[in-house]
Amino acid sequence: MNSLPRTFPARIPVNTIGRLSLYRRLLLEQLGVGARQIYSHQLAGLAVSTAAQVRRDLMTIGFSGSPRKGYAIQELVDAISAVLARSVETSVALVGVGNLGRAILAYYGNRQPIRFAAAFDRAPEKAGRILHGCRCYPAEAMADVMARENIHVGVIAVPAAEAQAVADQLILAGVKGLLNFAPVRLRVPAGLYVENVDLMMALDKVAYYAHELHS
Amino acid sequence: MNSLPRTFPARIPVNTIGRLSLYRRLLLEQLGVGARQIYSHQLAGLAVSTAAQVRRDLMTIGFSGSPRKGYAIQELVDAISAVLARSVETSVALVGVGNLGRAILAYYGNRQPIRFAAAFDRAPEKAGRILHGCRCYPAEAMADVMARENIHVGVIAVPAAEAQAVADQLILAGVKGLLNFAPVRLRVPAGLYVENVDLMMALDKVAYYAHELHS
DNA sequence: TTTTGTGAATCGATTCACAGCG
DNA sequence: CGCTGTGAATCGATTCACAAAA
């Protein structure tokens, strides 16, 4: 029955933020299929999780449903969007327009309200090209473009050896969060958020368990 | 002094496996630079972690160092490689040779002992091509090729709508672990391991914290 | 000294279990 | 009834803190 733009007393745990992102996607899908209300155990089924987990997560963002009808899907989507940065536009910069960088641009498309506003690459011949709706600039232009486009999130898709230097540049240019695809742990000032997508680690984990189960 | 190759009493936590993968990379780098011994606090520094965490992780795999000299790097690399599937060859299949699939092949290269032994795609015109050392087959060939190549790990890089069907096929073909890049949660038999790389979720997390810090 | 190895304490995240409600 | 909301219990992961070793 509630919950629009509130000030949240507590800091929301990272894992919860992640699940909210997932719930939101699943809920939008349900809306598309004509559903209007959903029970915690149904959403849990879609998310391959538990009803208790779902209820706890929604409690954390202060959203309530009714015992009779469950949760109103559209309202819940709005509430989650208000918590995630989804109701304001977030401008993002990509650094590193190699195989992975281009795949990232293609993957994210340019769905509002997360917009890839600029890409940077050391190789000067990439400057000026437009890939999946995102313009490439030479690395030197970073500070200027980032300020002009009001970018606060950086995505790092450069080789390991360059990642720390790129992170330093991005931080200097004012980013508050980094999504790092390079297989390195970045050293950043306290408080700045870094999400690592470590593909080597991910594959090692799978190989470990596959091997364990197989033998 | 340490770590004889076998029989780990306890099951090793997922997070620990992930960190071991990271430690291994960092240690190999140190070997390349000429280091032979390392202290827990030094490795922690490289991993952007804590000395206690490092010691706990190494304890978990039964590896010991000496208070005087720290840990012997080469031996530690070997011990970690023995724990991860790194000392035997693991064959992997990729399904979905789009932008993301090709970037994945390029990223992983074909470093031993994790080998991309086959790629599959619904689009028949991709069959027969060799990308980054990995041969593409039509989707229909999956069962045959997977058996012939003894593949036990699958990497899913297809659109969300197809991911569950692909997972089912791969499981039928005998995989024991899945690395899933599709923005869906897969339903799999108990015991089978799934590692999700959810890029939407990753970006939402960063955007959330960037926004929180910025405002 | 300095550093390892580790039991115990702490912290955080998930699950249980049940009161309250429609 | 079956469902939500939530305090309390549990589970797991990290950190503390210190004895033992060199």
Mean pLDDT, chain A, whole residue set: 94
Contact call for residues A196 and A188 (beta carbons, < 8 A): no
**How confident is the model at residue B134, as a pLDDT?**
97
Tokens standing for residue A63:
């959203």
Helices B14-32 and B51-60 pack at an angle, to 10 degrees, of 110
B5 CA vs D18 C1’ separation (Å)? 30
Q: Where residue B7 falls among pLDDT bands split at 50, 70, 90?
A: very low
Strands of the sheet containing B153-156, edge to edge, are B130-131, B134-138, B114-121, B90-95, B153-156, B177-180, B193-196
Tens of pLDDT, residue by residue over A153-195, are: 999 999 999 999 999 999 999 999 999 999 999 999 998 999 9
Percent of chain B topping pLDDT 70: 95
pTM of the model: 0.94
Residues 9-28 (A) near nucleic chain D, CB < 7 A: none
Write down the pLDDT at residue B212.
Answer: 85
Q: CA–CA separation, A104 vs A154, rounded Å? A: 13
Q: Which of A21, A155, A204 sits opposite B204 (nearest CB)?
A: A21
Whether B215 shows a pLDDT value over 80: the answer reads no
The answer to whether the Cβ–Cβ distance between A85 and B48 falls below 8 Å is: no
Answer whether A17 sits within 8 Å of B195, measured CB to CB: no
Backbone angles phi, psi at A3, to 5 degrees: 65, 80
In angstroms, the CA B55 to CA A55 distance is 37
Which chain B residues are within 8 Å of A213, Cβ to Cβ? 176-177, 191-193
**Cα angle for residues A102, A107, A110 (degrees, 5° grid):** 95
pLDDT-flagged residues of chain A (< 50): 1-9
Nearest by CB to B208, which of A17, A104, A204? A17
Residue B177 has pLDDT above 90, yes or no: yes
Task: Report how many Cβ contacts below 8 Å link chain A to chain B.
Answer: 194
Q: How far is the CA of A85 from the C1' of D12 (A)?
A: 30
What pLDDT, on the 0 to 100 scale, is given for residue A10?
Answer: 61
Of A170, A176, A12, A154, give the one whose Cα is nearest residue A84: A12
Cβ B85–A205 below 8 Å, yes or no?
no
pLDDT score for A2:
36
Task: Kindly report the nearest CA distance between residue B160 and chain A, in angstroms.
Answer: 11
- For residue B179, give the nearest of A175, A206, A213 by CB distance: A206
Question: Residue B48 and residue A187: Cβ atoms within 8 Å?
Answer: yes
Q: Quick one: pLDDT at residue B148? A: 98
Residue A66 Cβ under 7 A from any strand D atom: yes
Whole-number Å distance, CA B13 to C1' D12?
A: 9
Sign for the CA dihedral angle at B26, A123, A113, A176 comes to: positive
Are B200 and B160 in contact, with CB atoms under 8 Å apart? no
- What is the pLDDT, as a whole number, of residue B3? 35
- The owner of tokens 């890839």 is A116
pLDDT digit string (tens) for B26-80?
Answer: 999 999 999 999 999 999 999 999 999 999 999 999 999 999 999 999 999 999 9
Query: Is B6 a residue whose pLDDT tops 70?
Result: no
B97-148 tens-digit pLDDT? 999 999 999 999 988 899 999 999 999 999 999 999 999 999 999 999 999 9
Residues of B in contact with A102 (CB under 8 A): 99, 103
Q: Phi-psi bin for A3: left (phi > 0), alpha (psi -120 to 50), beta?
A: left
Pairing, β A134-138 against β A153-156: unpaired
User: B204 and A86: CB-CB below 8 Å?
Assistant: yes
Residue B1's pLDDT is: 39
Q: What is the dihedral of CA B123, B184, A14, A143, to 10 degrees?
A: 30
Mutate which of B206, B211, B214 to test chain A, going by most A C-beta atoms within 10 A? B206
- Whole-number average pLDDT of chain B: 94
Predicted confidence band of residue B10 (pLDDT cuts 50, 70, 90): low
Does nucleic acid strand D have an atom less than 7 angstroms from the CB of B53? yes
- Distance (Å) of CA A142 to CA A124, A146, A166, B35, B142: 13, 6, 10, 36, 45
- For B180-195, how does the pLDDT look when each residue is reduced to its tens digit (9 = 90+)? 999 999 999 998 999 9
